[in-house]
């Protein structure tokens, strides 16, 4: 009598295979076509003097570069966050609809592998999109920075600034160009998208409709941007003598405990765009928090999904 | 059974999130406070700014696009500037700076629009009575001052904002208030920017009763960096301020030969300084006596003699400027003497 082959609790290999098939599935949905308007936007910002470069920011080269970075990073953040929500929300219902889910789950594939594979597939597509957008950002910012450096050097030389001050001016402009610090901003948006995808995965495990998953995930995304305000109220004294009521405290506590803090990701990205002193240690801490968030949401998704009947 | 499962799942999710939230909350708070201390996390948006935000700004803020929205609103503010819509522009900048308070550019630019452009518009707008114009101009000047100072709460190290306040209150074409200007310039007097450092001196040298302070300031600046001698008004103050009879204990009394490269150059600068005394209220001291001595000594022609041929024109000779405005390569003798005495 042969003994049944034991299936391991979690297999990275199986998850990887599911992740690969998820990438294929998403690519077939033509998700990368969304990158075309983004590319056009980034290139348009560079090669056409859009109206905002005629505004007050144009008076200061650093300010103009900051605006370019803000617009590009903002677009990247919006695209990746929305993509994370929508694609994750569509995956499980999509698999049920085309019956792929049954063919996977009737094999010895633990449901954890399935969930992790799906999530990693989405994250992989976000990563590829992020790399493409990052290359565009760096290229356009590089050209604009070079243009500003040439203009500023010519201007400062013409009005007789000493060499030392010209160098200082150039260094200040270069700090707003494509630096490693800017990459911290891009990475923080990527990490945020990963967390949002994990949130959407958790919701999609118990949700009965795609619309509900998308709407709830968007709400969590929005609340997450303000979670830190609620948390601050618990840790710090009230400003301007406004003492919070018990109801305020209870709501604040619940919001702080349940929702993720997305302000941290935005702060790091903003700081990087402002060329502030964002340290590698900050990035490590942010990455650690992201792993923690993704871990929590995956475990909870697994719990709900483990005995879900289809 | 299905309902039981759903409720159980929701309770487990809530429980799991609460427990892990309880563990991660202090970590996140410490991280946020660290970032806030380093000005990486933006401060909270004040309640006044919330009420002034439009739907687009609110949506952007909810989505975590504060700085992008600030940039976009600054473009909108530009159109209000072009249309002379000053009250709308002021509101725009209040929202912009609430969204991106660590960007000195917005504080500087907003203050300039309110304190300079809007005030000038009010001053020259013939649609209003003179009294109304004056009230509106003063309101905008005060609003500009307040705006700059609000920026300094977020960016206390931003000396340029103090400089802007000082420049606004010492502007000849507005409503000069040298005491207020001096109060602002004083905050920037230890700046790394030599222009900022000198403006405090140039302002108190115009306030009657603060001449002794001005003398102490001119000596302080000279002692720390002789490059200030490249500026004509600085050179003149160095000669004129010690002529104040109220200064009893003059430790350092610079001479014309020690300060100016040539006596002709001294005459040019002091002639021009006298015009600033008459027009801008700079300290006069014994400027007339000094000029009369130089006129006699140099045989100055009558057309360049301000006592015989009063004129509001400055003497400008580009050739003199090119050759003489260079900083002195050597520290003047009288300074070296002072240093040696100090060393002993």
Which of B24, B63, B71 lies closest to A57 in CB terms? Answer: B71
- Contacts B18 to A, Cβ<8 Å: 257-258
A165 touches chain B (CB under 8 A): no
Binary contact (A55, B35; C-beta < 8 A): no
Specify burial of residue B212 (Cβ count, 10 A radius: 0-12, 13-18, 19+): middle
B28·A289 Cβ contact <8 A: yes
Are residues A263 and B105, on separate chains, in Cβ contact within 8 Å? no
CB-based contact A264 B35, cutoff 8 Å: yes
- Specify whether the CB–CB gap between A259 and A224 falls below 8 A: yes
Closest approach of chain A CAs to the CA of B155, in angstroms?
A: 14
ipTM of the complex in this document:
0.87
Distance from CA of B231 to the nearest CA of A (A): 16
Strand (E) or helix (H) holding B239: helix B232-240
Say which residues have a Cβ less than 8 Å from residue B71's Cβ, sequence separation at least 6: A52, A57, A66, A67, A70, A71, B100
Contact state of B71 with A67 under an 8 Å Cβ cutoff: yes
Residues of A in contact with B24 (CB under 8 A): 289, 292
Chain B residues touching residue A198 (CB < 8 angstroms): none
Helix, strand, coil percentages for chain B (3-state, nearest 5): 70, 0, 30
Interface touch B40/A270, C-beta < 8 Å: yes
What is the residue whose two structure tokens read 């050209």?
A143
Tokens of A157: 């030389």
A5 backbone φψ class: left, alpha, beta (φ>0; ψ -120 to 50) = beta
Interchain CB distance below 8 Å, A77 and B16: no
CB contact under 8 A, A257 and B17: yes
Radius of gyration of chain B (CA): 29
For residues B76 and B88, what is the distance between their CA atoms, to the nearest angstrom?
Answer: 10
Chains A, B: CB pairs < 8 Å: 137
**Pairwise CA distance, residues B138 & B115, whole Å:** 9
Cβ neighbours of A56 in B, within 8 Å: 74, 77-78, 109
Distance of residue A267 Cα from the nearest chain B Cα, in angstroms: 5
CB atoms closer than 10 angstroms to residue B34 = 15
* Nearest CA distance, B102 vs chain A (angstrom): 9
CB B74 within 8 A of CB B112: no
Interface contact flag, B63 A232, Cβ < 8 Å: no
User: How do the domains of chain B map onto residue ranges?
Assistant: 49-177, 189-344
Of B32, B40, B72, the CB nearest to A228: B32
Are B32 and A262 in contact (CB < 8 Å)? Answer: no
Count how many residues are written for chain B.
Answer: 344
> How does pLDDT run along chain A (310 residues), one tens digit per residue?
556 666 777 888 999 999 999 999 888 888 888 778 887 887 777 666 655 555 555 567 888 888 888 888 988 998 899 999 999 998 888 888 888 888 888 888 888 999 999 999 999 999 999 999 999 999 999 998 998 899 889 888 887 777 888 888 899 899 999 999 999 999 999 999 999 999 999 999 988 889 999 999 999 998 998 888 888 877 776 555 566 778 888 888 889 999 999 999 999 998 998 888 899 999 999 999 999 999 999 999 999 988 877 7
What count of Cα atoms within 13 Å lies in the side-chain half-sphere of residue B306? Answer: 24
Q: Which two tokens stand for residue A291?
A: 């792993």
pTM of the model: 0.80
Chain B residues lying within 8 Å of A73, measured CB to CB: 68
List of chain B residues whose C-beta atoms are within 8 Å of the C-beta of residue A232 = 29, 32, 44
A9 burial level (CB within 10 Å; 0-12, 13-18, 19+): exposed
pLDDT for the residue B1: 66
Q: What is the pLDDT along chain B (344 residues), one digit of tens a residue?
A: 677 888 888 899 999 999 999 999 999 999 999 998 898 888 877 777 777 777 767 767 766 678 888 888 888 888 888 888 999 999 999 999 998 899 899 999 999 999 999 999 999 988 889 999 999 999 999 999 999 999 999 999 999 999 999 999 999 888 999 999 999 999 998 887 888 889 999 999 999 999 999 999 999 998 888 888 889 999 999 999 998 888 776 677 788 888 888 888 888 899 999 999 999 999 999 999 999 999 888 888 887 888 888 877 777 644 444 444 554 444 444 444 444 444 44
Contact B67 A228 (CB under 8 A): no
Best residue of B13, B18, B27 to probe chain A, by most A CBs closer than 10 Å: B13
In 3-state terms, what secondary structure has residue B129? coil
- A40 in reach of chain B (CB within 8 A): no
């Amino acid at each position: 009598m042969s003994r049944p082959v034991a299936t391991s609790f979690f297999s990275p290999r199986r998850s990887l295979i599911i992740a690969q098939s998820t990438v294929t599935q998403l690519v077939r949905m033509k998700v990368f076509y969304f990158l075309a308007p983004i590319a056009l936007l980034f290139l348009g910002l560079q090669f056409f003097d859009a109206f905002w470069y005629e505004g007050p920011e144009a008076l200061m080269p650093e300010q103009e570069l900051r605006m370019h970075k803000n617009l590009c990073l903002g677009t990247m953040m919006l695209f990746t966050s929305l993509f994370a929500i929508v694609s994750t929300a569509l995956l499980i219902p999509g698999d049920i609809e085309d019956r792929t889910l049954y063919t996977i789950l009737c094999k010895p594939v633990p449901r954890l592998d399935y969930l992790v594979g799906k999530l990693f597939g989405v994250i992989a597509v976000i990563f590829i999109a992020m790399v493409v957008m990052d290359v565009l950002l760096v290229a356009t910012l590089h050209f604009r920075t070079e243009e500003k450096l040439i203009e500023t050097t010519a201007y400062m030389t013409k009005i007789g600034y000493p060499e030392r001050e010209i160098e200082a001016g150039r260094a200040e402009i270069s700090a707003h160009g494509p630096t490693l610090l800017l990459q911290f901003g891009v990475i923080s948006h990527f990490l945020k998208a990963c967390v949002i995808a994990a949130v959407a995965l958790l919701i999609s495990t118990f949700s009965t409709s795609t619309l509900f998953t998308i709407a709830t995930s968007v709400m969590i995304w929005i609340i997450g941007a303000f979670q830190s305000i609620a948390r601050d109220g618990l840790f710090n004294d009230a400003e301007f003598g406004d003492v919070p009521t018990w109801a305020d405290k209870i709501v604040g506590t619940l919001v702080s405990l349940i929702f993720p803090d997305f302000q941290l990701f935005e702060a790091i990205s903003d700081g990087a765009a402002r060329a502030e002193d964002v340290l590698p240690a900050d990035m490590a801490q942010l990455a650690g928090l992201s792993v923690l968030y993704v871990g929590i949401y995956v475990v909870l998704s697994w719990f709900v999904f483990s005995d879900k009947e289809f | 059974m299905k309902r039981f499962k759903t409720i159980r799942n929701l309770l487990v999710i809530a429980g799991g999130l609460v427990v892990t939230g309880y563990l991660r909350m202090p970590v996140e708070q410490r991280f946020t406070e660290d970032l806030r201390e380093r000005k990486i996390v933006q401060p909270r948006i004040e309640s006044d700014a919330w009420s002034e935000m439009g739907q687009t700004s609110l949506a952007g803020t909810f989505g975590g696009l504060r700085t992008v929205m600030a940039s976009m609103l600054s473009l909108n503010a530009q159109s209000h500037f072009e249309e002379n819509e000053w009250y709308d522009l002021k509101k725009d900048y209040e929202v912009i700076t609430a969204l991106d308070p660590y960007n000195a550019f917005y504080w500087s630019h907003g203050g300039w629009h309110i304190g300079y452009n809007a005030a000038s518009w009010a001053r020259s707008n013939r649609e209003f009575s003179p009294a109304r114009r004056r009230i509106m101009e003063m309101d905008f000047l005060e609003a500009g001052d307040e705006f700059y100072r609000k920026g300094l709460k977020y960016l206390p190290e931003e000396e340029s904002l103090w400089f802007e306040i000082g420049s606004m209150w010492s502007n000849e074409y507005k409503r000069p208030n040298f005491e207020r200007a001096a109060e602002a310039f004083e905050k920037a007097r230890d700046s790394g920017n030599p222009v900022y450092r000198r403006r405090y001196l140039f302002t108190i040298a115009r306030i009657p009763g603060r001449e002794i302070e001005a003398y102490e300031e001119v000596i302080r600046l000279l002692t720390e960096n002789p490059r200030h001698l490249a500026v004509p008004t600085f050179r003149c103050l160095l000669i004129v301020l010690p002529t104040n009879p109220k200064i009893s204990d003059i430790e350092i009394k610079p001479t014309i030969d020690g300060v100016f490269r040539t006596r002709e150059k001294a005459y040019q600068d002091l002639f021009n300084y006298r015009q600033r005394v008459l027009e801008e209220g700079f300290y006069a001291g014994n400027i007339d006596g000094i000029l009369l001595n130089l006129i006699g000594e140099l045989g100055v022609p009558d057309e360049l003699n301000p006592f015989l041929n009063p004129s509001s024109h400055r003497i400008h000779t580009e050739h003199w400027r090119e050759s003489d405005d260079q900083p002195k390569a050597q520290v003047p003798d009288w300074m070296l003497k002072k240093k040696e005495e100090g060393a002993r």
